[in-house]
Structure 1
Amino acid sequence: MAVLGMLSLTLEVPNIDEGVRFYSDAGLISAVEGDVARLRCEGQARESITLLGGFASKRLHHVALRAEDLEAIAERVPRFGGRVMAAPAGFPASGLWVEDPHGMLLHLVEHPCDPPLEGGPAFEINAPGRILRKRRSAMLPTGAYGAVHPLRLGHVLVFSPDVPASVRFVTEALGMGLADRSQDVIAFCCARKESEHHVLAFAKSPGVGFHHASFQVNDPDEVGRGGRALAGKMGKGDWGFGRHTVGSNFFHYIQDPWGSWFEYYSDMDYIDDYALWTPTNYALEDSLANWGPSVPGDFVHNYEIARLDA
């Protein structure tokens, strides 16, 4: 009776070509038909991001989540401030369409679990008293490495005007678990079985909006290599290389054409059984990073609200 994982997100954007170029540079594979672009990870048949072109500005359309027992979820949704909705025009009526208490649209789908990712070479670190790599170099010459290709969409962070209320809705109505939070400013929610530390997260803002989509890569080297390459192509904002306290993952964020963000990550905490996990309320100083470069001034700015108010 709960959400099982992340599937995809859909964005309204002004210029679909600009979006396809950005996500293609990030390592996703695109299929474009008219004003709709579907972007997927190499090796996956389904899309991770859908772009709807021709809009005045970027706006989150909806987030799609893998779930089970949709009838039970539908019964709980109104009790916790949400609404069961008809499918938007042009979208499939299958699954369950839900609006959360702040008007964010979610599509819950009974979708089979993705096949397990194939393991790459182990990321080995020589440390005092723990020598794993002998008589060989960890790094190949720079030219030996190809472009970084994300393996899968791991999580999405959205803005919320009331983070505790958003957490209450997804935990009580959708059956997720609160993994960790930092006061009422940011919260991270997981599935209750076999889940990475967070699947859906919320950051405080005056209104709903899309902050970032986070894509898993093989190891910290790929986080750094992919992040630097994409940041160089974009020439806009980026934040990284660094490591989060909450979730423990290595990260590099690159700003997309509309002010939101794309994250490469590796080494996320894993919650196999939420019943055995205890959420932590972290101090604000740990809400963003354990270490890394200075945070960009607009990293937590919700451009969807700014543009709507202009």
Structure 2
Amino acid sequence: MTVTGLLSVTLEVPDLEPGIRFYGDAGLEVSVEGETAFFRCKGQAEAAIVLKGGHGRKRLHHLALRAQELDRLPALVSRAGGAVVPPPEGHSTAGLWVTDPHGMLIHLLDVPAAPALTPNDRPFTINEPGRVGRVRRSAILPASAYPSVQPLRLGHALVFTPDVSASVAFMTEGLGMGLADRAQDVIAFCCARRDSDHHVIAFAKSPGVGFHHASFQVADPDAVGRGGRSLTKKAGKGDWGFGRHTIGSNFFHYIQDPWGSWFEYFSDMDFIDDYALWTPTNYGMEDSLASWGPDVPHDFVHNYEMD
């Protein structure tokens, strides 16, 4: 086993202030050190999103992944078309820094997993035909009873790549992940091989590398809806949701960030306990984005980092 999960996404941006407002409104806790802003889920020690200000434009700097057996990885990375590189100036020297065949920078760290999340006090249950799961209580409280939605953890990130198949090959052969599912050569989803969300890293086809979105788990589908509507009003840009994906099965709401990429709230993701018992599906393009939901925004899969 090598990669076991996603730790963080680091972006270069021109100015920190729009990001501080946006991710703060999204429910993340912020701390700022000089020209770097760190955004954490409540109760978690490590940042999920890192913004480095003072750059000419927004750009993906690197992904940080939790991994084991780092001593095995240099040879695997090299054979898969990547390279081991020195730590970038000003960044941690711990772990292993590598690039994939397209130059995307990845920081691999052997660190403990975050503590398991506490189950909901009010589990999300439904009354369906022939099976009643909720008796003698209302599913929904008065609107004033709900606090602002706060993300519980970073679940996955989707990045752009010029060659989806080559990126998947690198993640599976070089970093020991598994291909969960794909839609032709346009989008693909990679998971860890044990006890993994359906996807940890996903790839969408584009002329070059770039950041598409980071996805954060919230308590239940209602929190996806509440959080999505609230952040959409505050951000004042595009959104896509409420809806449900075919690939991964999760409920979603995406909100466009200040630089044209996206933030996703999600709930109810498929789970792969043992990749050896999973069979990937190659879906048609009609199932590549959603089972149901609003019309897809015209720029939802536009890589603004290539403009």
Q: TM-score, normalised by structure 2?
A: 0.99
Shift of 1:134: 1.9
- Counting only pairs closer than 5 Å after superposition, residues 150-169 of structure 1 correspond to structure 2 as 150-169=151-170
Q: Map 1:41-60; keep pairs closer than 5 Å.
A: 41-60=41-60
1 CA distance for matches of 2:94 and 2:128?
52
Amino acid at match of 1:144: A
Corresponding residue for residue 218 of structure 2: 217
Report the CA distance between 1:143 and its aligned residue. Answer: 1.0
Give the match for residue 185 of structure 1: 186
Counterpart CA distance in 1 for 2:2 and 2:164 is 20
Query: Counterparts of 1:127 and 1:281 in 2: how far apart (Å)?
Result: 30
- Shift of residue 92 of structure 1? 1.0
Identity rate of aligned residues, in percent? Answer: 68
In structure 1, the gaps of 5 or more residues are: none
Gaps spanning 5+ residues in structure 2: where?
A: none
1:123-175 residue CA offsets vs partner (Å, 9 max, x unmatched): 01011111121222111111111100000000000000000000000000100
Instruction: Quote the residue 1:299 is aligned against.
Output: 300
Letter of the 1:82 partner, please give it. G
Residue in structure 1 matched with residue 10 of structure 2 by the alignment:
10
2:297 & 2:133 partners in 1: Cα distance?
Answer: 37
Alignment of 1:100-111 (within 5 A): 100-111=100-111
Partner of 1:78: 78
Residue 206 of structure 1 aligns with which residue?
A: 207
Instruction: Give the aligned residue type for 1:40.
Output: R
Matched pairs, number: 306
Q: Provide runs of 4+ in structure 1 moved above 4 Å.
A: none
- Per-residue CA deviations over 1:226-264 (Å, capped at 9, x if unaligned) read 000000101110000000000000000000000000000
* Cα distance in 2 for residues equivalent to 1:183 and 1:247: 16
List per-residue Cα deviations over 1:94-117 (Å, max 9, x = no partner).
100000000100000001011100
Residue pairs, 1:115-134, within 5 angstroms: 115-120=115-120, 121-134=122-135
AA aligned opposite 2:136? R
User: What is the rounded CA distance, in whole Å, between the counterparts of 2:26 and 2:219 in structure 1?
Assistant: 15
TM-score by length of 1: 0.98
Cα separation, 2, equivalents of 1:136 and 1:157: 39
Give deviations 1:44-82, integer Å, cap 9, x for gaps: 011001100011110000000000111111111111110
Distance 1:80 1:146 in 2: 47
In structure 2, C-alpha distance between the alignment counterparts of 1:148 and 1:62, rounded to whole Å: 27
2:241 — aligned with what? 240
